[in-house]
A and B are shown apart, each in its own frame.
Chain A
Amino acid sequence: MAGTAVPRRLTWEVATVTAVMPETPSVRTIALDAPSWPGHRAGQHLDVRLTADDGYTAERSYSIAAAADDPLAITVERLDDGEVSPYLTEDVHAGDQLEIRGPVGGYFAWETADGGPLLLVGGGSGIVPLRAILRQREHSGSDTPVKLLYSARTPADLIYRDELDVHHDGVEIIYTITREQPAGWTGYTRRVDGALLAETVWPAGKTPLAFVCGPTSFVETVAGGLVALGYEPGRVKTERFGGTGGR
């Protein structure tokens, strides 16, 4: 678990929303123009600070949806009991300004030199940093083999579906949905568990590098399942969220 990041002071900067793109009924991608953004690695997150008319402020962290050389963007899921996400998914428009700082994190991040093969496992909006990693691989011309196992409630809840459905050599996308069994669906229709992992992921003998992101119970199941399959715990990186009513 050795670190390689160079610590540096994180300062707030004003970013301008350049576009708001609906992804699913409850998820939006927000593109940001941030002139002083210092750059980031795929998989990192950033902090957003909102200020209300009465001066009240709230800050939350969001995964960056962009590769290092993409225009900066975050993808936000609306949480009904959240404070910041309802605003970001319903009220924010192109041209609006908000404050950001980052990048934050650095352990849950991938660069070409980190190699693979890569196993990306996402639950719900846990796909966001994994999408950044996929784009990073594509942009850098890396031939690192990738499997992405992506679980969502219904096909309509799959974020970035159009982008993920575009074929890329060396990338295998495996979907599973947990609340429906629609006609014509060719992916899995069950929760990710040890058996589904055994069926779909790289064998441990290939010493894969795994990134797992999603709600806590999902990440617990997947990370534990991968270790049970022989994955080296130090090569299973996790990012957990959810259940706090915070975002």
Chain B
Amino acid sequence: MSPISHGFRRRHAVPEGAADRVPPGQYVTDGFPVLSAGPTPHTPLADWTFSIRRGSATLKSWSWQEFQALPAEMVTVDIHCVTRWSKLDTEWRGVSVDTLLEQVEHDAAYVMAFSDGGYTTNLPLADVTGGKARVAFNYAGAPLEPEHGGPARLLVPHLYFWKSAKWVRGLELMDEDRPGFWETYGYNMYGDPWREQRYQGD
């Protein structure tokens, strides 16, 4: 039985009509908070590549220019951060991960997204395919700001937002699941906001 805090009350109203879009324990913000473990990397676009790797082999790699030539799509999605803010109707433009993975032969079951600065995060293949994930480079109609993960970040909106790796530079294909950066520090391996999978064991 949880102790009652007399005098504590709800102050954040859920926006009208959005009750079924806000996962448990989240509140809606109009801002766009920034959370990251280290300095913001600034990789020049001339040096940027996006690679698909398996073990030590690079199966496919795109330069920024080549990446921009891939078919991109606009999406409007709700995003949910494990620190409990959610932001509704965010607009992104990016390349579907399906488009990228179509260009390699593989039978992997998991991927590890890897980023400038050494950040990694693990995801089941089924959660980055079937139209569920993108590599996004525009936000709200403008190039994605470095502090929000630009030039490009992974966008996997159905999972907590730490899975949407900022400054993403590629995907490593894996047979078995392995913890990424935050997952090593006790955060959940999967991170479903609707089941409040914030930490290990949730």
Known: A5-B185, A53-B4, A98-B3. A60 touches B84 (CB 8 A): yes
Interfacial chain B residues near A8, Cβ < 8 Å = 186, 200-201
Interface segment, one of B37-45, B63-71, B93-101, B151-159: B37-45
Instruction: Determine which of B31, B38, B83 lies in contact with A236 in the assembled complex, contact meaning CB atoms within 8 Å.
Output: B38
A112 at the binding interface (Cβ < 8 Å): no
Q: Please, which residue of chain A has its CB at the minimum distance from the CB of B87? A: A244
How many chain-A residues does the 8 Å CB contact rule pick out? Answer: 57
**A2, B118: Cα distance in complex, Å:** 9
Cβ contact within 8 Å between B200 and A237: no
Cβ contact within 8 Å between B3 and A246: no
**A70, B186: Cα distance in complex, Å:** 23
B147 at the binding interface (Cβ < 8 Å): yes
**A222, B185: Cα distance in complex, Å:** 24
Interface string of B152-191 (1 = CB under 8 A from A): 0000000000000000000000000001010111100000
Within 8 A of B (CB), among A209-239: 216, 220, 223-224, 226-227, 233-234, 236-238
Within 8 A of B (CB), among A40-59: 49-54, 56-59
A166 at the binding interface (Cβ < 8 Å): no
Interface segment, one of A102-110, A173-181, A193-201: A102-110
Q: Please, which residue of chain B has its CB at the minimum distance from the CB of A10? A: B199
Interface segment, one of A23-31, A89-97, A133-141: A89-97
Interfacial chain A residues near B34, Cβ < 8 Å = 216, 220, 240
Cβ contact within 8 Å between B36 and A238: yes
Instruction: Determine which of B35, B147, B186 lies in contact with A5 in the assembled complex, contact meaning CB atoms within 8 Å.
Output: B186
B143 at the binding interface (Cβ < 8 Å): no
Cβ contact within 8 Å between B185 and A57: no
A1 at the binding interface (Cβ < 8 Å): yes
A87 at the binding interface (Cβ < 8 Å): yes
**A3, B186: Cα distance in complex, Å:** 10
Interfacial chain A residues near B25, Cβ < 8 Å = 57-59
Cβ contact within 8 Å between A216 and B147: yes
Cβ contact within 8 Å between A51 and B3: yes
16 contacts between A and B (CB under 8 A): A8-B201, A9-B200, A14-B2, A51-B8, A52-B4, A53-B4, A58-B8, A60-B84, A61-B83, A82-B11, A83-B10, A97-B3, A98-B3, A98-B5, A244-B31, A246-B83
